[in-house]
Each structure stands twice: as C-alpha cells, then as structure tokens.
Chain A
Amino acid sequence: MLKLIGNRLLQMVLIMAVVSLVIFAIFDSDKFKRQIAVAELGGFAVSALSDQDYEAWLDRKGLNVPFYERYLKWVGGVMTGDLGRSFEKNEPVTRLLGDRLVNTGILAFWVFALMVPLSLTLGIIAGMREGAFRDRAVSFIAVLTTSLPEIATAIVLTVIFALGLQWVPANSAMINGWDWRQLVLPVMTLVLYDFGYVTRMTRASMAEVMTSQYIRTAVLKGLPHRRVILRHALRNALIAPFTIIALQLNWILSGVVVVEVFFQYAGFGKLLLDAALFGDVYVIQAATLVAVFVAVISQIISDVGYTFLNPRIRFS
C-alpha cells in the first residue's frame, strides 16, 4: 500500500514538473508577454510604446530574462513557498491562492455534506428494487438535474429564490463579510448538478448487487430485508460510488468556474479564469500545481478506499 502511495506521489511530482514547464514555455512567448502588457497598461499604451520602451517595461517586470533562468528562479521560489507575484492583482500568489482555496474548500465542504448523503440514500432506495416507481422517480429527477447545465440551474434558482421569493441573496461576493445565506444558491446549484450523477452510479451499483447470488441466498435464508440491505448489499454497492465521489473533489476545485463566476464567489475556479484571461502566468502556474495535487490525491484516496472496501483487491 505504501509503495502504491509512494509511486503515485512520485508520479505527481513528475506531472507537476512537466505541466509547469509546458505552461511556462507557452507563457514565455512574445504573444503572452504582450498580453500581460496590454492587460496591465491598456491596449493603447502598449501600441504607443516604442520597441525600446517595451523592452524596458519587460525588464522592469522581470520578463526579459531567458526562459530557463525564469523557470529555475520560479522553481527555487516554489521550494521555499514563494509562488511569485500576480501581475493582475499585484499581490503575492501564495496569499491570493490561500484565500481562494479556503473559499472553495468551504463551498466544497457544504456541497459534499449535502450531496453525498442525498445521492447515496436516493441511489440505494432506487437500486433496491429496480424498475419500481421509486426507482423511476429518482432516476427521472437525477437525469433531469444532471442534464441541466449549471448555468441554467443557477439562473432558475436565482430567479425563484433570490429575485422572486427574496429568501437568499442573488450573489455570493460576501462583500459585507461572511454570510452563510450567500452560500445557499451556489451550493444548491452544485448539489443539484452533481447529485444526479452520483445517485445514478449508486443506483446502478446497488441494482447490480441486488441481483447477485449471495443476496438471493441471504433472502432465501430468510434474513430480514433490512439486514440483507444493510449488512450484505450496502458495502459492496458503495464501492463504485466511493470512487466516483472521491473523483468529484477534483471537479469541485477547478470545474465549477461557471458557478463561481455567476455568483461572483471568490473561489479557486474564478481565480483561474481571471488569471487565464489576463495571462497572469504565476497564478496560472500555482493554480495548476494545486489542481494536479488535488487530482492525484483524490486518485490516491479513491484507490486506497477501493482497496479497503474490496477485499479481493486488498488480498491480491
């Protein structure tokens, strides 16, 4: 097990090295340097700069040194916890990233806290008796909510609950300090979007388990239905959803840009989008490293959990 984790972590470091190198190389091009200049000084100002003055600006920003020097300097900084300085926000990337990760962490916590029990419960209820009314009802709702793009769900929820009923605020910018009410709509949007998928996976897994011979044996032995479900079916039925839930960690980190932008929630996804549009290379680099880290860690959690839940893998 430790060897598996060690290998995965080693892979992670290699992936980080390659990805950071590629991104650095892309953003080292003249095109992206000019993009930073345009974003910082304005389109007019850059077009009016003479070549000499433009070079002087690059010098001032530390962008006029050879690629390998900049990269090595950046790697050295990363080793000491210095992720560079944001061109757009004019502040250290470490602080910026830290704030955004905390915000996204809070969002993720509530999404998982609601989505996991909801989708597991509904998935199990649906899968216990395939084809029954409750299976069809749950499947219909699950397919419906997952089919709707996040932006559509966000708009519908905003119109109903924020603009119509005025129960919750329409945005999540938290400009007057932390306010849990502002988290309601983004959490609801993400839960609605994601729970259907996990529910369907749980349902499929549960339905498959319910048709297996050991369940049939348990039923024929005369065990109470409740005991059959809780002691025999549930554990096996949860193996597949567990893997899927662990992988949702990655999605919630960088796949929720639409929701964060729509609700103006200052999270990691919005930071990444802003940085990409600005050409803010150090923020993009740092965000990418975090995304790779979370992707690999969620994979490790998934693998380790799978191993524990499935004895056939553990003992092999």
Chain B
Amino acid sequence: MASRKPRDSDHPKVHEAFRLMKSGRMDRREFIRVAALLGTSATAAYALAGLPEPAYAAGTLPFPADDPKAKSGGILKIAQPVQKMEDPATYSWVEMSNQTRHTVEYLVMTGPDNVTRPMLAESWTAAEDLKTWTFNLRKGVVWHNGEEFTADHVRWNIERWLDPKTASSNVGLSVFSAMVEETPEKDAKGKPIKRLSKSAIEVVDKNTIRFHLSKPVLSAPEDCYNYPTAIVHPSFKAPLSDNMIGTGPFQLAEFRVGDRCILKRVTKLKDGKDFNYWGGKVYLDEIHYYNFEADNQLSAFASGDVDGVYSFSVEQMDLAKSLPGVIHIARTAQTVACRMQVDQKPFTDKRVRQAVCKSVDNEAVKKLVYSDGGDSGQNHHVAPVHPDFAALPPLKRDVAAAKQLLKEAGFENGIELTIDVGNTDGPWHQTVAEAMRDQMKEAGITLKINVMPAAKFWEIWDKTLFGVTAWTHRPLGTMAMSLAYRTGVPWNETHYANPEFDKALDAAEATLDVEERKPKLMKAAKILQDDAVMIMPLFRPIYTIVTKNVQGYEGHPTQYHQFNKVWKA
C-alpha cells in the first residue's frame, strides 16, 4: 500500500505533503490529516500513508465502519447539563451542540483521531493558493420535512452566521473571517462593522459551493466542524428546540431545559414518506440526555441511571476507577487562560504582565492540579497535542526578575490584583488560581481570588480585567490563536492587538508543510508569550466513563458526541 502515489487530480499540496512524508519530514498521521483536509478521501489518505484505516468506513462516510456484531435498538442515556437550544450559531457550550448534533449536522466531521472527514459535504478541493475552496455537497441528503439539501442552504447559513445581528462566534473562525470585509459603517463603539463580501460565496450548482477567501486558509474544513457551525434549515427561527428540522438520524421527542432531552430515530418524513438516512446504519433507537451538573454525573452513573457521562473531574478519578465501567481518557488542548486585558491598567504596562507571568511556575501548577496526564503550558495557546506544536525554550519562574519588573513599573512595594474565577469547567480553575496566588506572593503580588458562580462569570468573561477563562480543544494550533488573539476578533478577551502577531499567524495559516508551519506558528506563539498577555499553565486531559455494554464509543477531545455507530450489547 505504501508504494501508492497520489492521483494527478489530487491537490498539488497533497503531492508536496506526500513527498515530505516520504522524505521523513512529515509524519504519517499529519500527512493523513493534511491529505484529508485537501479533499483526498480518508481511505485513500490512509492507503497513501501505508497505514490501515482504523475502523472507519470505506468511501466518503465520516463514521466508523459497521461492526458485524452490532445489535440494533436500545437507548443510550447520558448525564450532562441539559441546556436551552436557542440558535446553533450562538451556542456557547458544547453540551448544547451535543443535544442537537444528531439532528442538525455539519459539512464535515472531525473524528476522535483528529482527522476531518466529509459529512454533508461529500468532498472538497482547494486551490493551490488555499484561497478558493470548493465543497461538493452530498447528493440525496434530505431534510426532515422532505426537502432536498442544497448549496443554497449552505449559503443561507453562512450569510446568517456572518450577519452582525446574529452575533455568531463563527465570524472568528479563519475560513469565515476571510469572507468578511470592513464597511464604512461603524457600531456604537466606533468600530467598523464587518459584513460578508459579495463575492465570497459562489453557488456553482445545487450541489457545489465555492468559497473565495481574502487570504489563504488551511483549516477551512476543520473550521466547518466547530460546534456553532451546524447547518440548519432556512426556515429556522430561534429557539431551535421549537421546530428542529435537520438532516440527521434523530429528532427531538421531548425536551425540558434542566431536565431531559430525548432524541428518537427519524423513520418518517413530515409528509409521511420513509426517511432514508444518508449516513448508513444507525443502531440506537433513542439517545437520552438527563440533566446532571458536573459534580453529580458520576453519582448518576454509579446508580445505574445512565450509560455514560459527559465528563468527570480529576478529583473523581478514584471513584470512577472503583466503578464497573470503561474509562476513556483523551489528551486535549483544553485549557484555561489566566488572561489580562492589555488595554486596562495596570496591565497596559507590559512589565506588570511579565512580572505576573514570571512569578508563576507552570510546571508546578500542572503537577499540582493534574498529577496524571495533561501537559504544561507555555503562556501561548498552542498545545503539545497539536500537530503544529514545537516546544519553545522552557519557561522558568524568576521571582527576582518579577520583582525588578514591578519596581521598574512603579510598584516597588508590590501590587494587589484580583482574578475572577467562575469554575466554568470545574473546581480545578480555582485550584490553578490558588496555586498562582501562593507563588505570586513571593514576588510581591497579592492575588485576591474572586470566585463567582459559573453563570455570573460567563456574564463578565470578556470584560473582566483579570480572569480565568476556559478554552475548549481545537484540532489545530492555529485555530485558537486565530479565535482569541487576532486583532479585533470577537473572542479576543485580552484586547490584544499586535500586527506583528497577526502577520506571523497569517503566515502560519497559509503554510501546508507542517514542518515549515511549526516555526511560523511558534513565531506567533513566541510573540504572544513575550507580550505576556496570560498565564496558560496547563492543557488538561478529559475523562469520561461508559458502561461495559456500550460499544463503539470513543472519547472525543472536544467532548463532541458522535453516536451514529454506537450500540449496546
């Protein structure tokens, strides 16, 4: 299999990547990911890499191959917070998207192996300059109302995401940020309003849509699986839960916020005809989500009420190990940014920010919070699990230097800071803050920890001067960097604006060769690290548990639920 070569019709970058792999400059996994991103089917990509495709279906389906032993029927019960389902484009929690993931689907799907495969799009091709992407949509996909899924529907969705009134975070994703342009209009704060460029989306025919981007983007397919990019029917009106028309195998049967979300298999279309799901066999009859807050999910599992949990915390690991079940551990880029707003005093002074960063030993914080698993951070947002990560010189805690910097900044008697903590991802946020507080004390920094309910924190996450914000996993190192630190993007909570950083990130995002991209991305990471906008002490592992009779389940680094091929023995 390894003797195979890319086809002539494959993207030139696939040929380039193939050469890099053969010369040993790109590892096989990265080649598969790159080839799949550029439109080569995952099966072909695995074959070119000389690797067997791990239990994934042949052809263009994104799901694992059917298990001959699989049994149809049954209900999968999962414990997770059951949240409101207003508008997928403004989802702010993964849990919301899990509730709708099997009903409203995505153009692509990134599996637990970090490979992106086609979903509602059957394939895609990219121009050599990575500025034009053509998505060929899957034929035969129908909405639950019997209507055929077409390219116009995709265009309608993207136009809606990029309408400022929708306030979707999708505008910050690389592929979509390259579709908007500034207009002479200004908002109340005097910022120019960005709108979709008229030439950005071209509907070639009813099954083909083409994106014309203002800059090269490597991660276009991966961006299309970010959780707020679910494709809804053009008749959509919020809240989604009131009239959920999708293309997926399940539909909403019962829903109460804070109680339960019951999904049942779609068998008939609204006009009474049979519904044939495009994605092949689906085994489960029903998926049930029951509302359990993070701390209670494991007790629900222990009681036998549910077959699996959304996640459990590191503090609960001993309990989880004592229960009869299968624990799944995923290495991720999930993290916390203990970030400062660089345009607010005293953080306008870079020396203060640097002093804060230098007073903390990230490795020590990581060991304290997650003694097993996880990676320590380097105060930038690229994680060791990312394919484009390269380690920068190790950060060293330097109390003397921190004191000196504070002195130079006019705080020779020390400084008092308050950090807001919402524990939005669990109590470990507070443990991180407490560890930092103890270390900062030595450098003359008195850190007060303002703990608040998660809902309250969510209200101020992007407004607070100094706060601990949770960031979920994203498959590429470039993605979170682009979402959170690029000048003027909506999720830029640090208010960081550095053209040099933006330029370095642009260069990284336009580079296919992972070996070539690494130094470019790490250049951007170094700029961010030097500008000391945050302490990012660690990247945490995530833990889930399912009963032994749940088959085909895999822990996903973003905690996305993909139950199409899950079955119960």
Asked, given contacts A38-B458, A277-B456, whether A171 binds B300 with beta carbons under 8 Å apart, the answer is: yes
A53 near B165: Cβ-Cβ < 8 Å: yes
B257 near A52: Cβ-Cβ < 8 Å: no
What residues on A are CB-neighbors of B491 within 8 Å?
44
Q: Which of B259, B305, B459 interacts with A43 by CB under 8 Å?
A: B459
Q: Which residues of B17-45 have CB atoms within 8 Å of chain A's CB atoms? A: none
What residues on A are CB-neighbors of B305 within 8 Å?
169, 171, 173, 175-176
Contact with B along A137-175 (1 / 0, CB 8 A): 000000000000000000000100011000001110101
Q: Which of A48, A170, A262 interacts with B167 by CB under 8 Å?
A: A48
Size category, A interface: 35 or more
B167 near A49: Cβ-Cβ < 8 Å: yes
What residues on A are CB-neighbors of B165 within 8 Å?
49, 53, 56
B458 near A43: Cβ-Cβ < 8 Å: yes
A40 near B86: Cβ-Cβ < 8 Å: yes
B490 within 8 A of A: yes
What residues on B are CB-neighbors of A34 within 8 Å?
459
B50 within 8 A of A: no
A43 near B456: Cβ-Cβ < 8 Å: no
A59 within 8 A of B: no
Size of chain B's interface in residues, with CB distance under 8 A? Answer: 50
B256 near A91: Cβ-Cβ < 8 Å: yes
What residues on A are CB-neighbors of B463 within 8 Å?
47
B300 near A88: Cβ-Cβ < 8 Å: no
A44 near B462: Cβ-Cβ < 8 Å: yes
Assembled-state Cα–Cα distance A46/B319 (Å): 39
Assembled-state Cα–Cα distance A41/B299 (Å): 30
Find the residue from A52, A171, A274 having the highest chain B CB count within 10 A: A171
B300 near A39: Cβ-Cβ < 8 Å: no
Interface SS majority for chain B: loop
B74 within 8 A of A: no
Q: Which of A38, A53, A162 interacts with B299 by CB under 8 Å?
A: A162
Find the residue from A34, A44, A176, A278 having the highest chain B CB count within 10 A: A44
Tell me the minimal C-beta distance from B453 to chain A in angstroms: 5
Q: Which residues of B139-156 have CB atoms within 8 Å of chain A's CB atoms? A: none
What residues on A are CB-neighbors of B306 within 8 Å?
175
Contact with A along B166-210 (1 / 0, CB 8 A): 011101000000000000000110000100000000000000000
B485 within 8 A of A: no
Assembled-state Cα–Cα distance A162/B463 (Å): 43
Assembled-state Cα–Cα distance A89/B85 (Å): 10
Assembled-state Cα–Cα distance A30/B460 (Å): 14
Q: Which of A88, A169, A170 interacts with B84 by CB under 8 Å?
A: A88
B461 within 8 A of A: yes
B258 within 8 A of A: yes
A40 near B84: Cβ-Cβ < 8 Å: yes
Q: Which residues of A25-81 have CB atoms within 8 Å of chain B's CB atoms? A: 34-35, 38-53, 56
What residues on B are CB-neighbors of A94 within 8 Å?
none
B167 near A158: Cβ-Cβ < 8 Å: no
Tell me the minimal C-beta distance from A197 to chain B in angstroms: 28
A266 near B259: Cβ-Cβ < 8 Å: yes
Tell me the minimal C-beta distance from A291 to chain B in angstroms: 20
B302 near A42: Cβ-Cβ < 8 Å: no
Assembled-state Cα–Cα distance A264/B322 (Å): 22
Q: Which of A46, A175, A176, A277 interacts with B453 by CB under 8 Å?
A: A277
Chain B residue with minimal CB distance to A88? B257
B219 within 8 A of A: no
B84 near A90: Cβ-Cβ < 8 Å: yes
Contact with A along B220-231 (1 / 0, CB 8 A): 000000000000
A171 near B257: Cβ-Cβ < 8 Å: no
B490 near A264: Cβ-Cβ < 8 Å: no
Q: Which of B87, B187, B296, B460 interacts with A264 by CB under 8 Å?
A: B296
Q: Which of B91, B187, B300 interacts with A42 by CB under 8 Å?
A: B91
B239 within 8 A of A: yes
B567 within 8 A of A: no
Tell me the minimal C-beta distance from A151 to chain B in angstroms: 11
Q: Which of B256, B303, B490 interacts with A44 by CB under 8 Å?
A: B490
B187 near A50: Cβ-Cβ < 8 Å: yes
B303 near A162: Cβ-Cβ < 8 Å: yes
A173 near B90: Cβ-Cβ < 8 Å: no
B459 near A41: Cβ-Cβ < 8 Å: no
- Tell which of B245-253, B286-294, B359-367, B409-417 binds the partner: B286-294
What residues on B are CB-neighbors of A264 within 8 Å?
291-293, 296, 300
What residues on A are CB-neighbors of B256 within 8 Å?
89, 91
B260 within 8 A of A: yes
Chain A residue with minimal CB distance to B193? A50
Tell me the minimal C-beta distance from A269 to chain B in angstroms: 14
B257 near A90: Cβ-Cβ < 8 Å: yes
B291 near A43: Cβ-Cβ < 8 Å: no
Tell me the minimal C-beta distance from B152 to chain A in angstroms: 26
Chain B residue with minimal CB distance to A49? B167
A173 near B257: Cβ-Cβ < 8 Å: no
B344 within 8 A of A: no
Tell me the minimal C-beta distance from A171 to chain B in angstroms: 5
What residues on A are CB-neighbors of B193 within 8 Å?
50
B92 within 8 A of A: yes
Tell me the minimal C-beta distance from B482 to chain A in angstroms: 15
What residues on A are CB-neighbors of B486 within 8 Å?
none
Assembled-state Cα–Cα distance A89/B168 (Å): 22
Chain B residue with minimal CB distance to A278? B455
Assembled-state Cα–Cα distance A72/B92 (Å): 34
B427 within 8 A of A: no
Assembled-state Cα–Cα distance A53/B163 (Å): 11
What residues on A are CB-neighbors of B86 within 8 Å?
40-41
Q: Which of A40, A50, A89 interacts with B258 by CB under 8 Å?
A: A89
B164 within 8 A of A: yes
Q: Which 3 A-B pairs have the closest CB atoms?
A: A42-B92, A169-B303, A170-B299
What are 23 A-B pairs at a CB distance below 8 A?
A34-B459, A42-B90, A43-B92, A44-B462, A44-B491, A45-B90, A48-B169, A49-B165, A49-B167, A50-B164, A88-B257, A89-B258, A90-B239, A90-B257, A162-B303, A163-B299, A170-B300, A170-B302, A171-B303, A175-B260, A175-B306, A264-B292, A264-B296
* A→B interface (CB under 8 Å): 34-35, 38-53, 56, 88-91, 158, 162-163, 169-171, 173, 175-176, 261-262, 264, 266, 274, 277-278
* B→A interface (CB under 8 Å): 77, 84, 86-87, 90-93, 164-165, 167-169, 171, 187-188, 193, 239, 241, 256-260, 288, 290-293, 296, 299-300, 302-306, 319, 322, 453, 455-456, 458-463, 490-491
A-B contacts besides A42-B90, A44-B169, 17 pairs, CB < 8 Å:
A34-B459, A38-B459, A39-B455, A40-B84, A42-B92, A42-B458, A43-B462, A45-B168, A47-B490, A49-B165, A88-B84, A90-B257, A163-B319, A170-B299, A173-B291, A175-B288, A175-B306
